[in-house]
Amino acid sequence: MGYPAAEEEEDEAARLMKLRPQELIDEIRKLGKEPKGLVEKQELVAELIGLRSSLRGDTRNEEQKSADVDWSEKLNLLVEMGFTDLIENEELLHRHGGDVKKVIEAILKR
Closest CA to 6 of 81, 84, 77, 97: 97
pLDDT at 103 over 70: yes
**Over residues 2-14, mean pLDDT:** 65
Q: Quote the pLDDT of residue 51.
A: 77
Model-level pTM? 0.48
Check whether 23 has a pLDDT greater than 80: yes
The whole-angstrom distance between residue 64's C-alpha and the CA centroid of its chain comes to 16
Break the chain down into helix, strand, coil percent, rounded to 5.
75, 0, 25
Percent of the chain with pLDDT over 90: 7
Residue 102 to residues 47, 76, 77, 92, Cα–Cα distance (Å): 23, 16, 14, 8
pLDDT digits (tens, 9 = 90+) for 27-74: 888 888 887 776 678 888 888 887 777 776 545 455 554 555 577 888
| Secondary structure letter of residue 60 according to DSSP | S
For the cut 60, the answer to whether the pLDDT of residue 12 exceeds it is yes
